[in-house]
Amino acid sequence: MGQATGLFRTILVPVDFSPCSDEAFRVSCQVARLCGSSMLVLHVIDTSALAAFNRLGLLAVPSDAAAQRRRLRHHARLNVRRLLESKEAKDVALTRMIVEGAPFAQNAKTARVEKVDLVVMGSYGGRSGSVDKIFFGSTAEKVVRTAGCPVLTVPLPASAVQQKST
C-alpha cells in the first residue's frame, strides 16, 4: 500500500452490484491505494423492497419473507466476496459490512458511525428507473446531503453507457 497522506483514512463504498456500483468500487480502490486508505465495503439489503413485495402479495406466504432475506444475504455475501477478491482490490485493506434497511439511511449512518473520511458511490444504482427515485430522489443524492463527509459520485464509464444504449 502507498504512504498514507492523511487525506482520507477510511473510505466507505456502498455497493449494490450494479455496473455503476462496480465502477465506484474500482475508483474507490484506486483512491485507497493512492492515499493509503482503508476501505469499508457496505451492502444494504433493502428491506423496504421486501415489505413492498409482501404487501403486493408477491411472496406466497409471509414466511417467504424470512427465506427471501436469507437468500438476499447469501447473494450479498457472494457478490461482496467477488469484489474483495477482484484484481481491483489488490493491496487495499478492505472490511465488509452487510446490513438491512433503507440504503440511503444505512449509507449515511455508517459514514457517521464509522467516522469515514470519504464516501465513493455510484451516481445511480440498480433501481435507477424506479418510482422511488422520481418521488424521493436518488440514494446518491440523499447520501450527499446527509453523510457529513465528502461524497464522490461515480457515473458509468462512457463505454458502458454506449453499450447500454445500443
Model confidence at 144, pLDDT cuts 50, 70, 90, reads confident
Q: Give the length of the chain.
A: 166
Domain locations along the chain: 10-165
Fold that domain 10-165 belongs to in CATH: Rossmann fold (3.40.50)
Query: Is pLDDT above 90 for 7?
Result: no
CA angle, residues 123, 129, 130, in degrees to nearest 5 = 110
In 3D space, the residue among 46, 28, 24, 19 whose CA is nearest the CA of residue 104 turns out to be 46
**How much is the average pLDDT of 100-129?**
84
Q: Which residue has the cell 422520481?
A: 134
Residue 143's pLDDT is what? 78
Give the residue with greater pLDDT, 19 vs 67.
19
Q: What are phi and psi of 115, to 5 degrees?
A: 55, 50
Residue 133's pLDDT is what? 45
Looking at every residue in the chain, the average pLDDT score rounds to 81
- Complete DSSP assignment for 97-123: EEEEE-HHHHHHHHHHHTT-SEEEEES
In 3D space, the residue among 119, 125, 120, 147 whose CA is nearest the CA of residue 137 turns out to be 125
Residue 104's pLDDT is what? 84
> Is the whole-model pTM more than 0.75?
yes
Cα–Cα distance for residue pair 159/24, rounded to 1 Å:
15
Query: pLDDT (tens digit, 9 = 90+) per residue, 48-88?
Result: 777 776 666 665 565 677 787 888 899 999 999 999 999 99
Give the residue with greater pLDDT, 142 vs 118.
118
| List of residues 6+ apart from 121 with CB closer than 8 A | 13, 14, 21, 24, 107, 139, 140, 143, 151, 152, 153, 154
Poorest-pLDDT segment among 4-18, 72-86, 139-153: 139-153
Residue 71's pLDDT is what? 86
Query: Is pLDDT above 50 for 15?
Result: yes
Give the residue with greater pLDDT, 140 vs 126.
140
